[in-house]
A and B are shown apart, each in its own frame.
Chain A
């Protein structure tokens, strides 16, 4: 039974965004300040804001909402501030320190810097306990487990007040019995601690990654449990009749109880919903290849969707902790509206990574900031209105921006104000373009085959210039761009990943039945779980990935396939998919070489009905939306061109604007470069196309 509303909540570092979708296709964004010390407070404030502005009370809204969804930064913050649970590790004797040795290198390159800090350990050495036991790569038990070692570890943990325990052994993925037995002992001796078992959470080959993933999970789980509990309780008190669903970094939703158990899936979930929103917004054009960029005050996030599927990363070092589980790949750069421009001692212009943030903020905010920032440059160039942002609620001071850029950049370089500002703009763009290249080119994609999707409030000023630089000739910007991530959450599906090790060669005996058996096992677990979440078989969709490589290679590449029956005949399809992916990534394939699988994974998706698409009423021509003109700079020589300004709120579907032009919306400004043309479509999306 469909509910009246759909509500998405995105709790970011500074703002918590609320996105409210009504059955008629009306979608509204609301923003309140985040309250990290008390996460339910921001939600309460947001619901009050909706009540005040839309006239829907919190009780009415929550009891009639189809879904209440929450992107959470709680886990992220606990990991950044090292405020997780007191965590003990039970592992194979002789391998207690692999978590501290990590990859054995200095991850910032060949840095010598005598202040290079080692990573903070989530479980200190004295809480890492070795157990005599050993399984080898065939799954054979070389040394049986000494249960007394497990008991001794538990005794110590009890005395030390450990809150969360990890059990993770070498090659446990091929012989989980040792871990299972150790887990039983922990349960029995420490019934109140949270327990994470390596081969259950992340059953994949490579013990360092597995143990590290399990440790991050254990470190965060008790905190997530508390958070999820508080949110659930709050919504229930408002009359919610369904549990809240939470957004995960794998790009899907999950019940709170699952998120609390698998806390590692909740890290960095914030920007992970952007590809989902982008795919939905681009649907009317049938765009399958989308690069989404989101520029905020301090950072710039890039995500990529290829053939309708978001780029997924496994085995990444996140805040210096290795995490194996699949996560939507988010490339984050320190480039935003607050990025500070400066001339270094040697006379070169730098933008960032230092940021003026929102306090004191860019010079033009007039809140005491004196450093010239990207926002100041945009104001000087005429991209932003001197009347201010957010419909005039945030005033901008043109004189302060001029003054900061003149004194800190233009005068020292002997350039005009305009040329200096354009230089700042160019260098920030250049940093962002290099980031976009990393996400695309290095994954084997040509960015020119993609449409560029804008998200976040600050992106619109840069997006045509970025597209020019990369060679992209189409851009989409939704009217909801400033709340794109929250929007992504309300159009996401429920998604779980189930994994198994599969270290066999494709030419080995019975490999097709072994693989099929593994996938069947994983997918049955998935069906069970989604049935419990209320999904019927028709609403469940399965995709599979296999990590494969040529025998002898060290790294695998992940190949995504549909769920077909794996038979000796259909193995050819797997092989072919691998060769093709290998070519995309590495520019060659070796069709004569043997292939081996390392790990397999099934993604189980519970499809949720999409909300109605936004509708834009027909317009009567852009002329009526014209509000005036400004002198705007579009080139490095600093020439100003008289450029018309349009009010986005007055445009209707079908209205077109030729560049050069500036389009102002309440929460964003779009700069239409002279080479571009903009059209507002009937799904409330601005489509920008390069002329000619």
Chain B
């Protein structure tokens, strides 16, 4: 049995591990080429033991955090532990062997100490193009082979020696080899840094103490998570909603059902009753995405670093009390060879439904319905030189109203946290003009004591003909209001040509390989969050602010909030009519 490490050494080793993961993440994003990694930080990095437990991980994008153990288990199906050599470097992205989804390629390197395998240094990053059926993103494809290169525990280095044919194979099977190869190099540099720092740590504190500390830190995090789960009353909590369609069979909505079962300090997320798997890529890999998403929701809700007094090391411990059930053959646990690349909207909705299910028992940690979606746009085209240009953009949406404050406007909500791209920078390299990048004000966010956050408007204009694929959802099922709040607004996708701006065409939330013409403007308008609490209790001054800021109209102020505006001549033209408001609110109550 391992010995007990004193709390001070434990804290020091915990701090060192955290700093290693942080540096691995930083090296990766600073060295990478593609904007999805550099600007959006769509990556994750960390150290793992030989049982594939996470010892530490970077503060990066949620879906990468916690997904690496799945990759390691998948790789072990091909490379048993005793076959690793120092200097090996493996890439992996198989969606039915642990990968989050196929564009998220993991780079894994073993860590040896005195000739013995003691763990792994690994990271994942989203690659711009892995040679799938359509550039950048895919929706309507028949199976996983249409997703592009499948890399199943493939060695890029063997015992420190570069495996050149594999490098050539990858280079030849992407539309943008310059970006993909550069990003792979960045991933390798990050993993190498992790190997080095892990070795130094073991050198300094001894293998036994480091391993024992890691185990103790995992137990610690597990205890923290269990303590928080135990505070929720035992019981079954339900919520459901539906998604627009699968990207091919239009107007056939897909149900999502969530049951959260609390038993003491254990929790089960049961997704039984959710849609069957679909014939497009709109499925969720179970190991790499469904489970990870469930882990994340609970960690985010219950172990938020910013609200908790305790130190929260990021490791495997927080996952242990959480069980995830999704029937085989369902959208959350598809059977190979179903394609499963476009998985994010489903995950977002699942997270939102978990929050909704638990909101009656932990209202202080819940919100009204979040936009809980994704707008992932792949713009592409062929340059006169014959080279492809591909640009992936993630658009913001909004959170729902919150227990003590309004929802956040134009932000990446829930499971995502990528940064936008500086638009002048894009202009330098892409035949696109960004015409509008605004807070949504065509429809009001959900009214409430605390209103929902407003979504975003992003309009990109093509200067040359091109293609576009869009992965999104929530054009039909509006974010719900909570505790008396009103529902938010659904999203929209509008396309028109600059020459004929009045001729606007509404698009589905998902489409694949759409051909675009010069002057086409693609406008995405994201959903706005639901309201929290009774709108009649909203401070009239805040309603006035929203009127002045054009987030709501004077009529909406009256109809939704019972706040009457009076015209004045001091610049903006409106102030609250206190008397009329009191009367109106009394009559509406």
Contact = CB atoms under 8 A, between A and B. Distances in A.
Interface of A is mostly: loop
B125 to A, nearest CB: 14
B27 interface: yes
Contact of A100 (B186, B436, B439): B439
Interface string A330-368: 000000000000011111111000000000000000000
Interface string A116-127: 111000001110
B435 A94 contact: yes
Interface string B419-432: 11111110111000
A426 B571 contact: no
A323 to B, nearest CB: 15
Contacts of A427: 8, 11-12, 15
Contact of A105 (B304, B411, B434): B411
B305 A96 contact: no
Interface stretch (B30-38, B116-124, B284-292): B30-38
A343 B6 CA distance: 13
Contacts of B418: 104-105
A110 B417 contact: yes
A419 to B, nearest CB: 8
Contact of B310 (A110, A160, A171, A346): A346
B396 A101 contact: yes
Given A206-B422, A348-B220, A137 B410 contact: no
B435 A586 contact: no
Interface string B549-572: 111000000000000000000111
Contact of A205 (B26, B227, B310, B424): B424
A426 B412 contact: no
A159 B424 contact: no
A586 B456 contact: no
A117 B405 contact: yes
Contacts of B35: 554
Contacts of B408: 106, 116, 118
Interface in A80-112: 94-98, 100-101, 103-106, 108-112
Contacts of B59: 109-110
A100 B403 CA distance: 22
B27 A586 contact: yes
Nearest to A171: B424
B179 interface: yes
Given A170-B424, A349-B7, A442-B23, A588 B31 contact: yes
B311 interface: yes
A208 B300 CA distance: 30
B367 A346 contact: no
B433 A142 contact: yes
B439 A348 contact: no
B38 A105 contact: no
Contacts of B182: 552-553
A94 B436 contact: yes
A587 to B, nearest CB: 5
Interface residues of B, number: 90
B10 interface: yes
Contacts of A124: 545, 548-549
A104 B8 contact: no
Interface string A403-439: 0000000000100000000010011001100100110
Contacts of A103: 419-420
Given A103-B419, A126-B550, 17 more contacts: A94-B437, A109-B59, A110-B62, A110-B296, A114-B366, A124-B549, A142-B433, A159-B570, A344-B309, A346-B310, A348-B11, A349-B11, A550-B33, A554-B425, A586-B31, A586-B189, A587-B27
25 contacts: A94-B434, A103-B419, A104-B396, A104-B412, A104-B456, A105-B419, A105-B420, A106-B417, A109-B305, A112-B301, A112-B304, A124-B549, A126-B572, A136-B433, A161-B571, A205-B425, A344-B311, A349-B7, A350-B311, A423-B7, A423-B8, A434-B19, A437-B19, A554-B34, A588-B189
Interface of A: 94-98, 100-101, 103-106, 108-118, 124-126, 134, 136-137, 142, 156, 159-161, 170-171, 205-209, 343-350, 413, 423, 426-427, 430-431, 434, 437-438, 441-442, 503, 550, 552-555, 585-588, 636
Interface of B: 7-8, 10-12, 15-16, 19, 22-23, 26-27, 30-31, 33-35, 38-39, 59-62, 65, 178-179, 182, 185-186, 189, 220, 223-224, 227, 296, 300-301, 304-307, 309-311, 364-367, 395-396, 402-405, 408-412, 414-415, 417-425, 427-429, 433-439, 456, 459, 545, 548-551, 570-572
